[in-house]
Each structure stands twice: as C-alpha cells, then as structure tokens.
Structure 1
C-alpha cells in the first residue's frame, strides 16, 4: 500500500477558506451529511436541492464566509458538469439509440436463442453486463425487466434465478465501470487515469458479477421462490426482425467506446513518449468524449439506418434521450459542488492528517466512507461523489494503478446494502412484485455481496500491482 507524504501534500494544498480546527470541521461534515440525509429521506427533497443546501450548511458550520462557500460550490458544480456532462449526454443518446432501434432486443434474443436450462442465469448476466455498459441503471432496469419476466414465464424459471443475475450485471456496471456517472466523477476527483480505471474495473467486475449473479441466485431462488408476476409487459422496441440492426453491428457499437479507451491505456503503457505520433493519436481517439461520440456517430449507421430511421427522426430521438438525464446531471453537478466545498474548507486535508496515524489502508478507508454515505442517503451516486471529495487528497502520491483502485474502492462501497431510502430498491420491489422482506433477502443482499466482493478484490489487487 502506498504511504502518504503528508508534509509534501500540505505544502502543495491550497489555502482553506476557513481557519476551523479538526473538531469543528468534523462536526461540519457530519452536520452537512446529516442535512442531506434528512432532506432526502424525511422531506423527500430532490437530491440536487439537498446537496446544495447541505453544502451551504457544511460551509456555514465550518465558519467559512458565505460568499466563498458559494464560490466553492459553483466552481465544483461547473467543473464536474464540464468534465462529465457531455459524457453523460452521449451515453444517454447511445442508450436511446440502442433501445429504439431494436438493437437491445437483438442482443437479448440472440443470446437467449443460444442459452437454455442451467446456462440461462449466465446468459442473463451476460446480457445485462453488455447492455448495461452504455445505459444508466434505471434505464437498464426498465429495458431488461420485461425480458426477465418473459424468460421466467415462458421457461418456467424461478424469477430470482433469472432476475438476480440481470440485476447484478446492471449494478456492477453502474458502480465500477466508466462511463457511468459515479465512476467518472470519482476519476475526476482523484485525478485517476480513465483507461487504467476502466481496465481494472472490468477485471474487478467479472468475478464480482459471477458471485453476486448466477452463484448467489441459487440461494436467492430458495429463499424467495416466486413466479414471474402476471403484469402487462411493454411492447418490444422492434418486432420486425428485418428492420433490426444485426447482432454483430449492435455489439460492436456498444463496445466501441470501451475498445478505444482500453486501446489508449495499452498504448500509453507500451509507448511512454508524449511526443510519439501514435500515442498522441490514441490519446485523442481514446479520450472518453471522442470514444463515446464515435460510438454515437457509428450507431447512426449501424443501429438507426438498419431499423429504418430517416434523417428526420434522428434529431427527435436525441432530444428525447437528453430530457430524462437533466436530473442526473444536476445531482452529479451538485455532488461536485459538495465535493469542492469539502476540499476548500479543508476537510480533505483533515482526513489526510487524521488518517496518517491510522493503520487502516487508504482503500479500505475510502470504501468505508462510501458505505456510510450510501446507507445514509440511499444514493450510490451521492455516496460516490461525496466519498471521492473526502478522500481525494489520499490519491496525491499514489501510483496510477492505486489511484484507479481508489476509485473502484469508492464505487464498491457506494453499492452496499440498498434499502428503503434507495429508489432502486422500490423499482425492483414493484417490478418483481415482492414484499419488502423478500426484496431485502434478494436485492439488498445481492448489493451487499457486490460491495464486499468488489472491495475485497480491490484490496487484494492493491497488494500485487
């Protein structure tokens, strides 16, 4: 584990906007988080407003001038949106293209045609992981739940045996693998390398999703043995098989951003020369914005044109894809504002100063902080951006790989034990027709397994790389 050079970090750190001591800063952090938790859970206030108010409360209790608190919050919000806003928008467009063209249906039907019996849970986790790459978690649930219900109904499978692997695939992608908002914000906060984080994220995600998905679903199906509920299944995006994009073209379009970003990371390792033309080219095409933009542009020809979309239909599709992400952008932006307020008031440095005498590894500390905020707020994204702001100074003297592992530790902690204050908890409960107790035994336990397994793998990797 990388040791922290506190003296060097303190010398380079910007002057905090308050002169409060550690005790006052600690109280300010707890009060700020408490305000956010209470506003989200008790007052049912939107997370954007709760994060904004919580940031102001944090600054006020820390004794910082209000004008400087506002500047910190605005700076953090602007920087975060500038860094990940375009990526979130491009991801939303790609997801909409995938759904409306019938490309998602094509992947689902192709894989299911090859699977059956005992291999079906593995097919479901594969489908969810592939489709979950460009989709937000909530969108993925809406897209995949009808498939889960149909497969369980037609194949006479236990709903949990099919549903848990699909949910695990979506959740792992959401928490650990960019370009999802949480990992992107954490990467920006700790200044980690996106390509390395993506590669390590996939490495951590594979065993995690296997354990929490197909393997755990065996026990979940015994604990909660329920059939697929009789409910109206939404019409599929494309029933006309001749107008669907091909399986190969759809898969290529989905994986293109990942391929380009991983290629950049590989070239950076092989060619360590910033003046080298090949490296400079891959630095451009492997940049997240270019990689996602390339996938969207390719998708026009590989997804929309085969599905019969005219030029006139493309612009309305883009407009419809952007509307639902307004709330996500505001939450992520406000989370960035809260993170910057934490940093500027000196909370990050306080965590650094206090933790230097602890024997607890930095990665475990990051995981624990994310777990606490996740349990309190119910939001994986809020947990990720808040924890990233608190532990960002810990990454200052870390190697590239350890900074990436810090991001993954935060992401793993942000998925811990979803319960009644999490919107995802209620989505799964209602779609599957479960009681609260049944949902805790299945969905909540699955999320905990993901968090613990992924966190454990991250700690193990930190010992060998």
Structure 2
C-alpha cells in the first residue's frame, strides 16, 4: 500500500489550520473545526457541492446521539449540583473513611461526583471540603486537593455520561456500555496512583494552606440523603452496562428471549437510562426537597448553555471525521497502518497528546483525535476494541495540562498555588494520569 502524499498533506494542513486558528487567532473551536474540515476537502480535490454535503452528513450523523445524551446528562448533573447532592456525598465519604484516610475518600468522591457533574463545577462545589480538612489538620492542601482532582479528572475523561467520552464513543461508533466498563477498569488503578499516592508525595514537597475562613463561607444547609444520591447516580450506569452485557456475544448461550432483550435494549439505551434518572432526580432531589417547578425549569434551562457548546464542537468533530472518510484519506491510512503493524491505540493516544499539548482543551483534543482515528477503524473491529480506543484517546487528551488550559488556572487559583507549583503538582498529575491510563488500556487490549 502506497501513501497518496497529496491526501496526507491535506490532512496535515487541516490540523495545522485548526491549531493555528485556536491558538493564534482565538477562533472558537466549533468554527475552527469546520474551517479545517473544508480545507481538507478543498486540498484533496473534493467538488464544492460534495464538501457541503459532507458537512451536513458529518454533523447530522454525529449529533443524532450526542445532542440527546449530553443534554440529558447536563440537566441531570445540574439538579444534583443545586440540590446539594455532591456535597452530601463528599461529607458522607469523609465521615466513613475518617481523617487519616480522607485523601482516599476525596478521590472516591471526585470519581463518583464527576459522572453527572462537569469537572470545573464539581471542583468548585467540593473545594470547601478540602479547605476544612486543611484547616483542621494543618497539612498541605495538596494532600487533599490532588486526590480530589484525580478522581474528577479521570471520570471526566473516561466514564460516560460525561461529554468527552460520549463524543469520542459516538465518532468511533463504540458501545457506551463497554466504554463505561473499561473506563472503570482503567480509571480505578489510575486514580489510586495519581491521586492519593502522588498527592502524598507532592504534599511533602509543596506546603500550601487554605484561605482564611470568612463569615460568608459559614453557610449551613440541609443536604439530601446520601443513599438516594448514590442510587440516582448508579441507575443510568447500571442500566447501560446491563444492556450491553446481556446483548453481548458472551450471553448468547443463555438463550434469553429475543423480546426481552429488545425491551432491555430500549430501557438500557443511554436515552432511556438518562431520562429515567432525570425523572427520579427531578422528584427526589427537586420536588421532595422543596424546589418549585419554576425553579427546576430554570435549573434545567441554564444547564443546557454549556452543553450546547460541547454539542456543537462534537458535531464539528464529526464533520472532520466524515471529510477524511469521504476523501478516501481514512481508508488509505487504515490500510497503510494495517500493513505496517502500527497500533491503532498508540496512534489515537499520540494524536490526542499532540492536539492537547498544543491547544489546551481536552475536549477539543479528544474530538480531533477521534475524527482522525475513526476512519482507520476497520469493519471487523470488535466493540471492546473500539471502547478501548475511546479510553486511549481520552487518556492522551488528559496529558500535561499547562498554561493554555483553563483547568490549569482554575486549579492554581483555588489551591493558592504559584505557576511553578501548579506545574509541579497539577501538570505532573495529569501527565501521570495519561501515561498510566494508556498503559492500563494497552494491557486490557491484550485480553480483548
């Protein structure tokens, strides 16, 4: 298989334009991805009308799934956030684990809370917990902050219904149940290493304290029962994974009635699972807690603003992928890599790493890498293999958060770190997260 260098050049030019527009000209990622896709089409010799049709095809095929899931997930997370559910869970975990094991409690809390709640929102909600611990123990704030951040970052990257893995899974046409399952298998050991273990190490070298408590910080409110929070978060995850497992080839010998599998397939579909979770949260955390219908409507409506941005960027990523498919670039590269024996996992990981380091946004890195990788996925690629590819890309997109990433400044500000200290703690932690996450994914790929 020979490489058509004109097609290869068109892809490289598209990626360069994308990064230049975002970095140099501060163009919104949605517009930048569309312009990069058009450039790929023009340079590859695609007719003008076909370029427009490809944009429509890529946008439509991607958003049919992503828009519904991300929208429902955003509403679900907003109700959990406003009801005090995240704080209730954190308080429960800290109480159960005790002060000595509080860093582990915070890691687990971050891991669970970030499933329905966006990373930055969850961090801001939970930051008072680690301030209180630091004031009580006098130890470095990083002993508690790093484990919490590790739990939040890993779930945010690896486990649906958070938007990043949802978007990558849809572009790669991977089954969400498998993505959730592998996200947990990879995420747990990764969280332990870059959370409590690294947190203990770095806290001995960088001592930072919580800001002084003001009268405005001393707010007390009645939190919802933690049992209901855990059940509500678990419902959609269990339903989706159960549907995947019962409809997988592993269950073929059990002779489950076809009609039953069809109904399980409907109830366990992400659309249905998240709808059910939303209705339960709406009642238990909304109506039962004293929220009016108008307040719940306002919470739901406001939650869709950040979701809308993610949905549009994901759609533009689908356009980029479709442009590679329709120009024939994807098939050419797929055949070449197959002949050379180059690992698709490694390609996806490195593609995400490069985009992440250059432009900062983990979401844009995931979507761009997924767009580059999707055309290389062969017809006979199994669902577990595609799910592992999703995790590999997510790991690469998490690496080395630095000054071009808003998360770098958010963490530094709330933990009271200098830029150098943020590099030594947060940047190093995200790099460990990415490397361990990829290595764990590679090990799993040997068995699937």
TM-score, with structure 1 as normaliser: 0.90
By how many angstroms is 1:274 displaced?
8.6
C-alpha contact (below 8 Å) 1:274/1:280 kept by paired residues: no
Distance in 1 of aligned mates of 2:238 and 2:346: 30
Distance in 1 of aligned mates of 2:53 and 2:3: 21
By how many angstroms is 1:411 displaced?
1.3
Distance in 1 of aligned mates of 2:217 and 2:378: 48
Match of 1:16 in 2: none
Question: Which blocks of at least 5 consecutive residues in structure 1 are unaligned?
Answer: 1-5, 7-19
By how many angstroms is 1:211 displaced?
0.7
Distance in 2 of aligned mates of 1:428 and 1:104: 19
1:284 to 253, 261, 266: 266
Q: Does 1:394 align with 2:377?
A: yes
2:304 to 322, 329, 333: 322
By how many angstroms is 1:79 displaced?
2.1
Residues 410-429 of structure 1 mapped to structure 2, 5 A cutoff = 410-429=393-412
Distance 1:234 1:130, change over 3 A: farther
2:237 to 255, 258, 278: 258
C-alpha contact (below 8 Å) 1:351/1:391 kept by paired residues: no
Q: Does 1:451 align with 2:430?
A: no
Residues 229-244 of structure 1 mapped to structure 2, 5 A cutoff = 229-230=211-212, 239-241=220-222, 244=223
Q: Does 1:431 align with 2:414?
A: yes
1:246 to 206, 221, 225: 225
Match of 1:15 in 2: none
C-alpha contact (below 8 Å) 1:102/1:307 kept by paired residues: no
By how many angstroms is 1:146 displaced?
3.1
C-alpha contact (below 8 Å) 1:134/1:254 kept by paired residues: yes
Distance in 2 of aligned mates of 1:378 and 1:115: 35
1:338 to 303, 320, 344: 320
Distance 1:152 1:61, change over 3 A: farther
Question: How many equivalent pairs are there?
Answer: 444
By how many angstroms is 1:21 displaced?
6.6
1:267 to 243, 246, 251: 246
By how many angstroms is 1:372 displaced?
1.4
C-alpha contact (below 8 Å) 1:199/1:262 kept by paired residues: yes
C-alpha contact (below 8 Å) 1:90/1:293 kept by paired residues: yes
Distance in 2 of aligned mates of 1:51 and 1:146: 38
Residues 96-175 of structure 1 mapped to structure 2, 5 A cutoff = 96-175=78-157
C-alpha contact (below 8 Å) 1:60/1:66 kept by paired residues: yes
Distance in 2 of aligned mates of 1:395 and 1:174: 28
Distance in 2 of aligned mates of 1:26 and 1:118: 55
Question: Which blocks of at least 5 consecutive residues in structure 2 are unaligned?
Answer: none
| SS of corresponding position for 1:77 | helix
Distance in 2 of aligned mates of 1:183 and 1:84: 10
TM-score, with structure 2 as normaliser: 0.93
| CA RMSD of superposed structures (Å) | 2.2
C-alpha contact (below 8 Å) 1:351/1:390 kept by paired residues: no
Distance 1:157 1:346, change over 3 A: farther
C-alpha contact (below 8 Å) 1:409/1:458 kept by paired residues: yes
Residues 8-407 of structure 1 mapped to structure 2, 5 A cutoff = 22-230=4-212, 239-241=220-222, 244-269=223-248, 271-272=251-252, 276-392=258-374, 393-407=376-390
Distance in 1 of aligned mates of 2:383 and 2:308: 32
Distance 1:351 1:103, change over 3 A: same
Distance 1:443 1:24, change over 3 A: same
C-alpha contact (below 8 Å) 2:92/2:226 kept by paired residues: yes
By how many angstroms is 1:458 displaced?
0.9
